[in-house]
Structure 1
Amino acid sequence: MPLNMLLPRLGQGALQTLSRPTSLAGMAAGRFKARATPFMSALANKRYSSTQPDAADVERLRKLRNIGISAHIDSGKTTLTERILYYTGRIKSIHEVRGKDNVGATMDWMELEREKGITIQSAATYAQWGETNLNIIDTPGHVDFTIEVERALRVLDGAVLVLCSVSGVQSQTITVDRQMRRYNVPRISFINKMDRAGANPQRIIEQIRNKLKIPAAALQVPIGAEDAFEGVVDILKMKAVYNRGERGEDVVLEEIPAHLVEKVKEAREELVATLAEVDDEIGELFIEEKEPTEQQLRDAVRRATIARKFSPVMMGSAIKDKGIQPLLDGVISYLPTPVEVKNTMLDIDNNEQVMDVVPYSNQPFVGLAFKLEEGKYGQLTYIRVYQGKLEKGQFAYHVKTGKKVKISRLVRMHSNSMEDVDSVGAGEICALFGIDCASGDTFTDGSVNCSMSTMFVPDSVISLSLTPKDKNSPNFSKALNRFQKEDPTFRVHVDSESKQTIISGMGELHLDIYVERMRREYGVDCITGKPQVAFRETATCRSEFAYTHKKQSGGAGQFGRVQGYIEPIDPEEHAETPHEFVNNVVGGNIPTQYIPACEKGFYDGLHEGFMVGHPIVGVRMVLKDGAAHSVDSSELAFRLAGFYAFREAFKASNPRVLEPVMTVEVSAPIEFQGSVLGSVNKRKGIIVDTDTQEDYCVVTAEVPLNNMFGYSTELRSATQGKGEFSMEYKRHSPVLPNVQEDMVKEYQKKLAEKK
């Protein structure tokens, strides 16, 4: 369950619920989606259907694909993208992620990315394969930068899910799969690293079916494996595909090697049987025991993939320049055009009715800003044009603010370089300069008042204090403001008591990267404090309250009496409203104008818990009765009454402290399995699963985040530098009683010191 569902709805501060939508559409999407009927949708769309799309525009959209490259960390996404750019002619030579020539991969343009050998920011580019134009976004694999994957998948029509031929489906693969499902993104699965020792594509296909719960079947059979990997056999064409030439640029089709003929026939039968379960046409042929033609199979794979009922599986080795061109052919053959993807928006002028986006250039312009970047020329805003056309020199309207902005410069991105263009049609991805907006904002041409739904933003799980060495540097706040604007998962607030600047993010690496970027890009050296975990407090049983707030010190006094109870609620069952205030007052004992004040008092109490000072989650407050005074009662009196009543009831509800628990996946050589299990147990982890793959073991465990600090160093020393691990937030769970007791004592001690 997402962490944001456990957070209270607060005012300002780092613990504020920041998964809230940044556009009106996001707030209304769930509320109004159920109300929209086909009739209402058709009525709302009436003004858009009067003009037939231009034939040239239809042809342009037919030859357009918007795809993302997504995977678990170190599966070879950036290496794969580098080959795609090379074979499509976008770059003249290939450079590796950690190459000896010190150039680095094209899409990893940041200095930090090239040093660490990881992708930190998603990078957009465009290329052409045959007659088809490709907009490609290469996304990070590390869970700390999951927002980059989130916003990329929000605006893409299809994706390539890259899996390692040995490791297969890993923790972040499951997260990416969940994100693809959230935005209804069809995918091709590409099994990479077929040259690696222990490569087993059939086992990976089984993992896709069992762990990701999506029907999948191979479209290719590998010719050899590990060091002997030579190419693939195309099951549909029934031809062997080899890459020749210095960098595999020459694709050669030959007859299937004799020793693979039977294996290819079996794989084709498996493909037909899998498609028969998800596609009616192949299902009928299967029942009638008729052999489908190549074109029938190709059409069925496309239909089932676009309907997200099936994932075709292709394979190759990006580092060895094998299998990339067939993958590009598969992207064009099986992933949808912008016209084949249904997108919706909300008509603000028509009671926010759900409308279908009409993805043609002759319609009113509607676009979504999905990523911000600070460049040397100012803020760079990435926009997906969903409907209509965006032209240089035209005016666009910012739906959220109603401001009119002029499009002074329009560019297409190629990593960190750009190409100026005069216009961009529907379905395209481009970037603008000089636009002041937030990630997830909608722009129109002013003729329509519609808003797109925005992307989901997970909440932070870790915080640390940050102090600049030069306290007079103006760049400190400038850097923090820029990073917050660019990355919705990076939050900053000033602690009201210690006056320290607190930064919050998705993990240690996430925050380390921003501290390092602050030093390099802004020349600000900072001292960081000990990382702090996002603990929570909750009630565990029902607790009654009857509280009277009265104050008389001459003149008008304060009086407010409230009576009722609080009870725990399951945040998973009440995901939309993890906290609830229920008004059951009858007879007017509390005047109606004071009920909102009681509710405010309840939410004031949620802001900072009474045990260890962390926010309170999963509580319902039911107000049953009360009393008011004709002169002394006021909103303030009832707000304070609600706050103190909740505080007393909460203390009597057997409260517990909750801590974030992470799903930790550790991969290491089999000889270190005992050391890995021991290190996880030492950190109070619960082993969920262990899997042995050839000479590697994979241990999956649930470990409290507070116990994971410094684990990377311990794992490296225990496995001679060969082990690696990844973490992902799972849920909040109660801490051990002795730990809670120590935390409460420490908090009380801090309070006593301040007095």
Structure 2
Amino acid sequence: MTTAHPVTASSADVLREAGRRRTFAVISHPDAGKSTLTEALALHAQVISEAGAVHGKAGRRGVVSDWMEMEKARGISITSAALQFSYGDAVVNLLDTPGHSDFSEDTYRVLAAVDSAVMLLDAAKGLEPQTLKLFDVCRHRGIPVITFINKWDRPGRDALALCDELVERIGLQPMPLTWPVGDAGHFRGVLDRRDGQFIRYARTAGGATAAGQERLSAAQAEAEEGADWVRAVEEVDLLSASGGDFDLARFLDATATPVLFGSAVLNFGVKHLLDLLVELAPQPTPRPDAQAKLRDLNAPFSAFVFKVQTGMDPSHRDQVAFARVCSGVFERGMVVTNATTGKPFATKYVQQVFGQQRSTLDTAYPGDVIGLVNATALRVGDTLYTDKPAVRFPGLPSFAPAHFAVARPADLSRSKQFRKGIEQLESEGVVQILRSLRRGEAAPVFAAVGPMQFEVAAHRLVAEFKSPVRLEPLPYTVVRRLTDPAHRSLVDGNRSEVLTRTDGVDLALFTDSTTLGVLRRLHPEVVAALEPLVAGNT
């Protein structure tokens, strides 16, 4: 495949630039402080001058990673956001993810595009259900995890108990690199286990600017902090005796996690985390293609699309496809091939993304996240490449939906806009769109992991397409994949039906397990054609 102009970077250049990249996601349960931490990391990298507040408190602006109106109004992340910035000699690609379980599909796709993750825990709550689910994905993918125990400025649990929970509930050995001096709610600073010094933090007004810090020797710390320092030293000694010393190999093979304590809202401990990410987080490595063959970093350009988003620029109805560069060097203007369709795609408009803010990008290397503008031909899971032989990376997961609703235009005069909106939501994966001849194109069925996805879809149809929608819930609770279309007529009934997903998969929906059981008894030949859907691989 030809390019608009030759790519001049040498193999050595690609490997050197890839070595500078750190691409990671921040994961947590809702309200653990994920967007606040993302904002604080950007503040300490000096790419923003003042940290925003999730709810825009005290006249402060909102956080850069939560740019959608619904995110600002509710104070939660409902879509992933990419932020790229330089820090020292490193190039950081930070992906902020939705914490709410209803948006798990978006988060799982993001985790396919990163090399490591920061797991954020609330000091008062520890490991919460959504955090456990996300960690299981990291474990499955072999993603190294750094743990940041947040909100230590508020009352919370005992530090040793939180570390014990990591071992007992997820089998991950904690390796604290900092240790709190003072109980949760009385945060004095941290003991740096690498040099034994005390790092004391200084508050700033509302945490809007970077927190100051000073280092004290152990003797100074004991003189000034007394019993709090002595207890911290004793607990650190206990950690060492129980195997809690840092081991880089165990971190990289995802069997142990470095742990830091801090407060994202006050910017305490955030710079330490950022420095640690640059120093220890893995750089990009060769990725397996769909045939499990590793794609060398210095092979010709390849990337995969893990997210599609519209509405980022209110003045333009453009669509941005976010792609993770896997190999080679990308240069704006390249003509690449979409492995899904076999068709060329011109990359005239490519941007570096920082939340909702965008700037033109000319080159990118393995590990970078690029934003391809006007990418209406691209879908989540597409592979892009130059030069033969063709390459295709594994597809990204579609989840087993648990909620269903028929969507109809509330204003029939806006039917054209309604159809366009449905196509857009479908391409982005906001909800799964199911169709059947029985219902017709005018009444698609929304399928979602969680009901909040319906709210997002309805809001966007109104806000972006001026097409209000009526959603009529369907009573289905059991979902199976129908592998043999010949049995479709046997499944379609009063308490069950077959709907087809965009990727061509037929889904058999049943009101309850009893209905499914009756079908199996009456038509045992259907049993082999009905397969359970496995979350994350459907």
**If the TM-score is normalised by the length of the shorter chain, which range does it land in?**
0.7 to 0.9
Partner of 2:275: 329
The 1:607/1:264 distance shift into structure 2, 3 A limit, reads farther
Asked if residue 178 in structure 1 is aligned to residue 139 in structure 2, the reply is no
Cα distance, 1:319 vs structure 2: 1.3
How far apart are 1:218 and its partner, in Å?
2.0
Out of 464, 468, 473, the residue aligned to residue 409 of structure 2 is: 468
**Does 2:42 correspond to 1:104?**
no
Tell me which residue corresponds to 1:523.
466
Instruction: Give the equivalent residue in structure 2 for 1:651.
Output: 522
Aligned pairs for 1:354-393 (under 5 A) are: 354-360=292-298, 363-375=299-311, 376=316, 378-393=318-333
* CA RMSD, Structure 1 to Structure 2 (Å): 3.0
2-side partners of 1:225 and 1:71: how far apart? 23
Q: TM-score, normalised to structure 1's length?
A: 0.60
- Alpha-carbon spacing, 1:392–1:228, altered in 2? closer, same or farther (3 Å): same
Unaligned runs of 5+ in 1: 1-50, 276-296, 347-351, 538-577, 581-598, 617-645, 657-728, 731-755
C-alpha displacement at 1:652, in angstroms? 7.2
> Residue 506 of structure 1 corresponds to which residue in structure 2?
449
Q: Is the contact made by 1:536 and 1:614 (CA closer than 8 Å) also made in structure 2?
A: no
SS at match of 1:479: helix
Find out whether 1:444 has 2:385 as its counterpart: yes
Structure 2: how far apart are the matches of 1:384 and 1:649? 44
**CA-to-aligned-CA distance 1:423-445 (integer Å, 9 cap, x gap):** 11222111112331210111111
What is the CA-CA distance between 1:251 and the residue it aligns to?
Answer: 2.8
Structure 2 unpaired stretches of 5+: 1-8, 500-516, 528-534
- Paired residues, what number? 486
Given candidates 149, 152, 174, the residue that maps to 1:191 is 149
The answer (yes or no) to whether the contact 1:493–1:503 under 8 Å persists in 2 is: no
Per the alignment, residue 343 of structure 1 pairs with 287
Q: Residue 431 of structure 1: which of 368, 371, 389 is its match?
A: 371
Letter of the 2:236 counterpart: A
Q: Deviations over 1:495-543 (max 9, x none)?
A: 7259744222112211112112211222122223245333358xxxxxx
User: Which has more radius of gyration?
Assistant: 1
TM-score under structure 2 length normalisation: 0.83
- The residue that corresponds to 2:174 in the other structure is 216
**Corresponding position: 1:490 with 2:432:** yes
1:251 is the counterpart of 2:213? yes
* Aligned residue identity for 1:68: A
**1:606–1:615: 8 Å Cα contact kept in structure 2?**
no
Contact 1:235 1:264 in 2 (8 A): no
CA contact (8 A) 1:65 1:132 kept: yes
Within 2, Cα distance between the matches of 1:438 and 1:648? 36
| CA distance in 2: counterparts of 1:532 and 1:328, whole angstroms | 47
| CA displacement at 1:615 relative to structure 2 | 6.1
Instruction: State yes or no: 1:613 paired with 2:496.
Output: yes
* Structure 1 position 206, deviation (Å): 1.7
- Asked if structure 2 preserves the Cα contact closer than 8 Å seen for 1:219 and 1:271, the reply is no
Name the residue aligned to 1:305.
251
**Residues 535 and 614 of structure 1 are in contact (CA less than 8 Å); yes or no, is this contact kept in structure 2?**
no
The answer as to whether partners of 1:79 and 1:96 remain within 8 angstroms in 2 is yes
Q: What CA distance in whole angstroms lies between the structure 2 residues aligned with 1:187 and 1:606?
A: 48
Encode CA deviations 1:43-82: one digit per residue, 9 max, x unaligned.
Answer: xxxxxxxx9841x544433322001111111110000011
Q: Which stretch has the larger CA shift, 307-316 or 499-508? A: 499-508
Structure 1 range deviating more: 226-235 or 322-331:
226-235
In structure 2, do the counterparts of structure 1 residues 649 and 421 end up closer, same or farther at CA, with 3 Å as the change threshold?
Answer: closer
SS at match of 1:228: coil
Tell me, yes or no, if the aligned pair for 2:488 and 2:498 is still in contact at 8 Å: no
Cα contact 1:359–1:427 (8 A) shared by 2: no
Matched residue SS, 2:243:
helix
Corresponding residue to 1:604 among 468, 488, 492: 488
**Cα offset for 1:162?**
0.4
Distance 1:73 1:262, change over 3 A: closer
CA distance in 2, matches of 1:493, 1:252: 62
**8 A contact 2:318–2:374 mirrored in 1:** yes
Q: Who is 2:348 aligned against?
A: 408
Q: Is the 8 A contact 1:366 1:443 kept in 2?
A: yes
Contact 1:492/1:503 (CA < 8 Å) preserved in 2? yes
Alpha carbons of structure 1 residues 500 and 262: separation in structure 2 relative to 1, 3 Å: closer
In structure 2, the CA distance between the partners of 1:651 and 1:536, relative to structure 1 (3 Å rule), is: farther
CA contact (8 A) 1:243 1:322 kept: yes
In the TM superposition, 1:552-701 aligns within 5 A as 601=486, 603-604=487-488, 607-608=491-492, 612-614=495-497, 650-651=521-522
- Is 1:73 aligned to 2:30, yes or no? yes
CA distance in 1, matches of 2:519, 2:238: 68
Q: Which amino acid aligns with 2:167?
A: R
1:454 matched to 2:423 = no
Aligned-partner Cα distance in 1 for 2:464–2:188:
45
From 134, 158, 170, give the equivalent of 1:200.
158
Aligned amino acid, residue 93 of structure 1: E
- State the 1:262 CA deviation: 5.2
Residue by residue, what CA displacement relative to the aligned partner does 1:625-667 show, whole Å, maximum 9, x if unpaired?
A: xxxxxxxxxxxxxxxxxxxxx99873277x99xxxxxxxxxxx
374 and 196 in structure 1: CA distance in 2 versus 1, 3 angstrom threshold: same
Amino acid at match of 1:82: E
Once the two structures are TM-superposed, the CA of residue 120 in structure 1 deviates from its matched residue by: 0.8
Q: Equivalent residue of 2:125, what SS? A: coil
Residue 147 of structure 1 contacts residue 488 of structure 1 at CA under 8 Å; is this kept in 2?
no
Report matched runs for 1:129-168 at 5 Å: 129-168=87-126
Shift of 1:85: 0.8
Asked if the contact 2:203/2:266 (under 8 Å) is kept, the reply is no
Q: Distance in 2 between matches of 1:98 and 1:488?
A: 24
- Bigger Cα displacement from structure 2, 110-119 vs 428-437: 428-437
Tell me how far apart the structure 1 counterparts of residues 344 and 433 of structure 2 sit (CA, whole Å): 29
Measured in 1, the distance between the counterparts of 2:439 and 2:366 equals 51
Partner secondary structure for residue 24 of structure 2: strand
Determine the C-alpha separation between the residues in 2 that align with 1:52 and 1:385.
Answer: 16
1:529 is aligned with what amino acid? Answer: E
The aligned residue for residue 680 of structure 1 is none
3-state DSSP of counterpart to 1:207: helix
Alignment-derived partner of residue 626 in structure 1: none
Offset, 1:215? 1.7
1:317, CA displacement in angstroms?
A: 0.8
Task: Tell me if structure 2 keeps the 8 A contact 1:464–1:503.
Answer: yes
The one-letter amino acid of 1:251's match is: Q
Task: Write the distance in 2 (CA, Å) between the matches of 1:148 and 1:265.
Answer: 43
| 1:12-51 correspondence to structure 2 within 5 Å | none
Hey, what's the Cα distance between the residues in 2 that align with 1:421 and 1:600? 46
* 1:459 positional shift: 1.9
Amino acid at match of 1:311: T
**d(CA) in 1 for partners of 2:178 and 2:301?**
41
Cα–Cα, structure 1 residues 216 and 579, in superposed 2: closer, same or farther, change >3 Å?
farther
| 2:232 is the counterpart of 1:263 | yes
Match of 2:264, SS state, is coil
Q: Write the letter of the residue equivalent to 1:319.
A: V
Displacement of 1:320: 2.0
Helix, strand or coil: the match of 1:452? coil
SS of the counterpart of 2:293? strand
1:701 match:
none
> CA 1:518–1:200 in structure 2 vs 1: closer, same or farther (change >3 Å)?
farther
Amino acid of the residue matched to residue 326 of structure 1? H
> Secondary structure of the residue that 2:105 maps to in structure 1?
helix
Q: Secondary structure at the match of 2:55?
A: coil
CA distance, structure 1, for counterparts of residue 346 and residue 439 of structure 2: 44
Distance 1:178 1:605 in 2: 39
1:693: which partner in 2?
Answer: none
Give, in whole Å, the separation in 1 of the partners of 2:433 and 2:439. Answer: 18
In 2: Cα distance, 1:501 partner to 1:459 partner: 18
Is the contact between residue 460 and residue 489 of structure 1 (CA under 8 Å) also seen in structure 2?
Answer: no
